[in-house]
Amino acid sequence: MRIAILGGDGYCGWATALHLSSKGHSIAIIDNFCRRQWDFELGVQTLTPIRPLPERLAVWQQLTGRTIETFVGDVADYEFLASMISTFRPEAIVHFAEQRSAPYSMIDQKHAVFTQVNNVVGTLNLLFAIRELAPDCHIVKLGTMGEYGTPNIDIEEGFITIEHNGRRDTLPFPKQPGSFYHLSKVHDSHNITFACKIWGLRATDLNQGVVYGTLTDEVQMDEVLINRFDYDEVFGTVLNRFCAQAAIGWPLTVYGKGGQTRGFLDIRDTVRCIELVCLNPAERGEFRVFNQFTEQFSVLELAKLIQTVAREMDIRVEIDHLPDPRVEAEAHYYNAKHSRLADLGLEPHLLSDSLVNSLINIAVRYRDRIDPAMFAPQVNWRVGRNQRRTLSNLRQEPLVVKEPMSL
């Protein structure tokens, strides 16, 4: 297949591009490198050193003989996006090209507005471009389990059948997003649903859990191909933060009681899920939703698991509880259905099999690059614009990338 990866220089996009290329698909990466710019803006860096995209792709071609095309530009620019689709002629488009951090979207008014404009407008541009230029192209959209929130009922896969006043209908599952970022994903879902209904487009919304791991079969082929490992408070995940803290003997910082429960999956399962969905596309006019995760853990369960594994490696760490800067339930019911990808053939990797090699060992290997100042929470959901705590390293340049970053 011909598959375009929007945001192909990022964490999920890079691993997906290499995996699909290794399977013989014709791949194009579309990116404007703003994810790299946000690191500069925040004064942080990924734990693993990430090489420029041309260098990465040159090594990939040397190792495999496979070429991945690149289109440098912004999906918020409709003319650029339309030109890419006309030139590459994709059969499927995997859409990772969004600002994906909840804390980033909660820094202040500017970051909230940027997140929603960037994400919603980019997706709208994609929908119109496909309608005009490639109406049979399958949209594979990265959603988030955060769209659902933490309701006190089981979370279904996108839709729920209800009875009300003697009548019965199947409706979109209620959304309770917890940040301006998660709200942008809800808006995306509504816009895609509408476009499929009125224009007959085909789309799959993958409501993904928290992804972990740096290693896939393809990434392991050469050091130059290594993927991101974000552990900072804004773009890092709680699991990555705990592993980085353990690597230097720092206390594991649990927000509040630590009962916050979420779905998790290995990056190897992410790329396999994308492949399965591309090979089994939605029908014309169909909008379908898959919940993309393999296991559930609370934050405290993760901390205790890492503490135990670290001790087996002769690394002793304690667990500290900090006030939760987010507005979220610290103890709640959480049971989300996730059977549709398994029905397509997904065989999941488990965290217990990935924790040491793909996470803790990577953190230990690069621990000289760990900056403990990045652990502390500095973005507070509750404070207003005039009271917010400013990120110590945050520079106040414009957020919108006017020209593609040259790398």
Reported as a pLDDT band with limits 50, 70 and 90, residue 401 is very low
Place of tokens 């859990």: 209
Percent of the chain with pLDDT over 90: 93
Please say if the pLDDT value at position 382 is more than 60.
yes
Listed in sequence order, the residues at least 6 apart from 360 whose beta carbon sits closer than 8 Å to its beta carbon are 243, 246, 247, 306, 309, 310, 313
Is a pLDDT exceeding 70 seen at residue 201? yes
> pLDDT category, 393, cuts 50, 70, 90?
very low
Residue 383's pLDDT band, with cuts at 50, 70 and 90, is: confident
197 is catalytic: no
The answer to whether 285 and 196 are in contact (CB under 8 A) is yes
Between CA 24 and CA 194 the distance in angstroms is 33
Q: What number is the average pLDDT over the span 37-53?
A: 97
Average pLDDT for 269-286: 98
Q: What per-residue confidence (pLDDT) applies to 183?
A: 98
Inform me whether the pLDDT recorded for 329 exceeds 70: yes
Nearest CA to 95 out of 175, 179, 192, 224 is that of 192
Residues 169 and 248: their CA atoms lie apart, in Å, by 54
- 4 touches 83 (CB < 8 A): no
- CA 365 vs CA 228, 251, 287, 362: distances in Å: 14, 19, 43, 5
Cβ-contact 395, 110 below 8 angstroms: no
- Pairing between β-strand 252-255 and β-strand 287-292 as defined by DSSP bridges: unpaired
Distance CA 378, CA 347 (A): 38
* Catalytic-role residue among 16, 115, 144, 270: 144
pLDDT digits (tens, 9 = 90+) for 23-34: 999 999 999 999
Q: Tell me the two tokens of residue 208.
A: 């993904």
For residue 112, what pLDDT is reported? Answer: 98
H runs (alpha helix) in 2-77:
11-22, 34-42, 53-64
Q: What is the CA radius of gyration of the chain?
A: 20
| Rounded-to-integer distance, Cα 339 and Cα 318, Å | 36
Handedness of CA 261, 266, 267, 270 (dihedral sign): negative
What is the spatial order of strands in the sheet that 295-298 belongs to? 210-212, 261-266, 295-298
Q: Which CATH class is domain 2-373?
A: alpha beta
Provide the whole-model pTM. Answer: 0.94
Provide mean pLDDT across the span 35-62.
97
78 is catalytic: no
Query: Tell me, what's the pLDDT at 100?
Result: 97
Specify the pairing of strand 92-95 against strand 167-172.
unpaired
Spatial separation of the C-alpha atoms in residues 289 and 305, rounded to whole Å: 31
**CB distance 325 to 234 below 8 Å:** no
Q: Given 185, 214, 294, 334, which residue is catalytic?
A: 185
pLDDT band of 358, cuts 50, 70, 90: confident
Which pLDDT does position 386 carry in this prediction? 39
pLDDT tens digits, residue range 86-102?
999 999 999 999 999 99
Predicted pLDDT at 396: 39
Q: pLDDT at residue 399 above 80?
A: no
Kindly report the number of other CB atoms within 10 A of residue 217's CB atom: 12
- If phi > 0 it is left, if psi is from -120 to 50 it is alpha, else beta; for residue 66 that is beta
The reported pLDDT for the residue numbered 115 is 98
CA–chain centroid gap for 171, Å, is: 26
- d(C-alpha 298, C-alpha 377), whole Å: 19
Which tens digits make up the pLDDT trace of 161-197? Answer: 999 999 999 999 999 999 999 999 999 999 999 999 9
**Residue 268 clears pLDDT 60, i.e. is over it:** yes
Q: Are 245 and 29 in contact (CB under 8 A)?
A: no
pLDDT at 391: 45
Judged by phi (left if over 0) then psi (alpha if -120 to 50, else beta), residue 52 lies in beta
Residue with tokens 């009681």: 257
The reply to whether 261 belongs to the active site is no
Q: Which residue among the candidates 11, 104, 181, 255 is catalytic per the annotation?
A: 181
Rounded CA-CA distance 194/397 in Å is 35
Please report, for the chain, the start and end positions of each structural domain, with discontinuous segments joined by +: 2-373
Q: What is the DSSP letter of 281?
A: P
Average pLDDT of span 134-140: 98
Q: Are the beta carbons of 36 and 44 closer than 8 angstroms?
A: no
Average pLDDT, the chain: 94
